[in-house]
Structure 1
């Protein structure tokens, strides 16, 4: 399903129509996207500059959006992998910009794997089981201004894990990987050899070997095991391992 570009005043910026905070919504769930859009458009502090279903349409639309959003909202991502892929693509899209949008997740899924994956890739807010639309709008404003915000139950759990959770999306090197490198890293994390990866994604084994070498350099690791640990911490590789053991 492709995204629908809006034609109302929320997609442009002229004269007195300029709003304070520009927003972009990416969701794997069209119903969730419509709900978020309805809430946001009720508040004059925000301009919805774009919306899309899925990461591919989302990135294409982001790249073609005249106004850079201050916050990208990931609505009801289908999995922690979806959170990871969306966040990494946003980082990549704005790599050459002086600033990039803040990111926040709005989801009913608040299990630890999803929340910690979001933190590792630089998400500034994670809301689940919201009590009101005002809670969402206030949280967006906090994130846009550089703050961090989490639902009460998530914040409580984070306080217990604070000493072990490291929010270092820039220093891990993962944000430097291309989409193809991320794909190959996930297969490495799943335990596949270069030969198996080559067969899986229809590349020459030598090409895969070159990709793996570049991945090691960007992650500043020297072996597959170390690369796999970083990837699995970010939520990659689980699906591959499940397929192989089925």
Structure 2
């Protein structure tokens, strides 16, 4: 199977390096590349390209990952197949990784040991799999193994994944403005989500919603999250 690739990178040096690696394997065809998400989206639109995998190389921030992935998803929503997304970055902090997971990337590679690791990972993602660098995978495993099972609370099961995400931030004490900045939404949109959450939970204020959320284990720093932060700060793999 020949795999069509498109690269978007905020860093021209990273872009050139990724191109050099990809050219080593004749199973890959680089059908386009761009510096920055804006030019990348224009190129995809103008040429009507159908890549199997889009690589986000050295994104400048977690916001860049979020926005590029969201725009890719939006552009290919009506296609039979949507390109898989893989992030290649030296930045493997928790915020960046979890932002990537939240927007549906299929892989996140950091501190690669060889070009073969990238090539092999692209093949896995193109075939529908998911890949993460060893240190990231171990941290994710430890995190999810310590996430508590949420008790059944009336209305909680009716919430969408986005509503649960906002409820958790609300329970953590964040204002609508802070939530909007954290997940890159308009403050008005967050207010609308909060109103729907109140309706589904049958509460009338933030304090009541936060209390229900905390009873379910939301809005609190779990033991797994504390471990991850400690280990990352200590440089422990």
Structure 1 residues without counterparts, runs of 5 or longer: 1-18, 166-170, 175-186, 193-200, 202-207, 227-246
- Separation in 2 of the partners of 1:149 and 1:212? 32
Q: Which moved more, 1:64-73 or 1:146-155?
A: 64-73
Deviant stretches of 4+, over 6 Å = 223-226
User: Alignment partner of 2:77: what SS?
Assistant: coil
1:202-225 superposed Cα distances (whole Å, 9 cap, x missing partner): xxxxxx96x678x649x9646997
Is 2:44 the partner of 1:65?
Answer: no
Structure 2 residues without counterparts, runs of 5 or longer: 149-159, 164-174, 181-185, 200-204, 210-237
RMSD value, Cα? 3.1
**Computing the radius of gyration over CA atoms, which structure comes out larger, 1 or 2?**
2
Aligned to 1:41: 23
Cα distance change on mapping 1:191 and 1:85 into 2, 3 Å: closer
Structure 1 segment 71-110 matched on structure 2, within 5 A = 71-110=53-92
**Could you tell me the TM-score, scaled by structure 1's length?**
0.63
Q: Please report how far the alpha carbon of residue 190 of structure 1 lies from its aligned counterpart in structure 2 after TM superposition.
A: 3.0
1:6-42 superposed Cα distances (whole Å, 9 cap, x missing partner): xxxxxxxxxxxxx710001011111101100111112
Q: Which moved more, 1:140-149 or 1:94-103?
A: 94-103
Cα distance change on mapping 1:96 and 1:221 into 2, 3 Å: farther
- Separation in 1 of the partners of 2:3 and 2:179? 44
Cα distance change on mapping 1:212 and 1:152 into 2, 3 Å: closer
- Separation in 2 of the partners of 1:220 and 1:20? 46
Cα distance change on mapping 1:132 and 1:221 into 2, 3 Å: same
Aligned to 1:9: none
Aligned to 1:137: 119
